[in-house]
């Protein structure tokens, strides 16, 4: 198995999904900073950008959690 195939397999594994969720949630810190800065500067366009970015993170995490549940459903040992 090549390194590329191993990397693709990791992305769909439980540890890979947990890592993806974690990195997505870390991105939320940047969005919080952006929201604070937009409020201080009274910049509604920057605030709108932060809201859209936050929605993208929430959607991405929801998709990853759904994939994690599907992996759990396929696992014979989990019941």
Structural domain count, the chain: 1
The reply to whether 49 falls in a domain is yes
Of residues 76 and 55, which shows the higher confidence score? Answer: 55
Question: Over 60: is that where the pLDDT of 76 sits?
Answer: no
51's CB contacts (< 8 A; 6+ apart) are 35
* Domain encompassing residue 31: 15-70
pLDDT in tens, 26-51: 999 999 999 999 999 999 999 999 99
Mean pLDDT value across the chain: 85
Mean per-residue pLDDT, 9-27: 84
Of residues 61 and 77, which shows the higher confidence score? Answer: 61
The reply to whether 76 falls in a domain is no
CA 61 – CA 68 distance, rounded (Å): 10
CA 32 – CA 27 distance, rounded (Å): 9
* pLDDT value of residue 7: 58
Q: How far is CA 60 from CA 10, 18, 31, 35, 39, in A?
A: 18, 12, 15, 19, 25
Q: Which of 60, 75, 64, 72 is nearest to 16 (CA)?
A: 64
């Amino acid at each position: 198995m090549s390194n590329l195939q191993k990397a693709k397999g990791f992305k769909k594994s439980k540890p890979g999904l947990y890592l993806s969720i974690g990195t997505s949630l870390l991105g939320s810190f940047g969005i919080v900073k952006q929201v604070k800065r937009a409020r201080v500067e009274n910049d509604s366009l920057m605030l709108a950008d932060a809201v859209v970015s936050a929605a993208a993170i929430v959607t991405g995490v929801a998709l990853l959690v759904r994939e994690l549940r599907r992996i759990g459903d396929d696992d014979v040992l989990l019941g």
